[in-house]
Amino acid sequence: MAEMEAAPASFHRRTVAVADRLPELRRALGRWLGALGLSPERQDDVVLAGYEAMANSAEHAYRDREAGPIDVRAESLNGRLTVTVTDYGSWRPPAAADGLRGRGLQLIDTLADHSARVHREDGTTVTMTWLA
């Protein structure tokens, strides 16, 4: 009987931050999470929060200029799963929620055990963490 290969402890993908590139990135993250043996509910939380951060980058980071890169990194280590989404555009403070939109950061904060945003001159990084 062949031994099953362990899932890699880390994940990294880079693509252009445009909406039609994000579904494949979302699926790739989901496949990686599935190999870790997380519960389906936890996988759904991580994928949804990660996708929301990706969508925010695609929608806001490169406005008024050509879309640039987005990096999605994830690491599973010592009972902690961390996902970071980094763009190299410019930060735009969230507008007031209109009931239909503007709840992405709130959703991320709700789904992750911990989340943080770092805004730099050269982009934004959203870090989301889940504990085992």
CATH code, domain carrying 14: 3.30.565.10
pLDDT of 3 higher than 70: no
User: Which of 9-18, 52-61, 100-109, 111-120 has the weakest average pLDDT?
Assistant: 100-109
In this prediction, residue 52 carries a pLDDT of: 95
90 falls in which pLDDT band (50, 70, 90)?
Answer: confident
Give how many domains the chain has, as a whole number: 1
Please check whether residue 74 lies inside any domain of the structure.
yes
Beta bridge partners of 16: 69
On whether residue 4 sits in a domain, the answer given is no
- Whole-angstrom distance between the N-terminal and C-terminal Cα of the chain? 30
- Please state the rounded mean pLDDT for residues 90-114: 77
pLDDT at residue 74, rounded to an integer: 97
> Do 130 and 112 contact (CB within 8 A), yes or no?
yes
Regarding pTM above 0.85, the answer is: yes
Q: What is the DSSP letter of 39?
A: -
Range of the domain at 123: 10-131
Query: Look-up: residue for tokens 């509910």?
Result: 41
Do the strands 69-77 and 80-87 form a parallel or antiparallel pair, or are they unpaired? antiparallel
Report d(CA 104, CA 55) in Å as an integer: 9
56-81 per-position pLDDT tens digit: 999 889 988 899 999 999 999 999 99
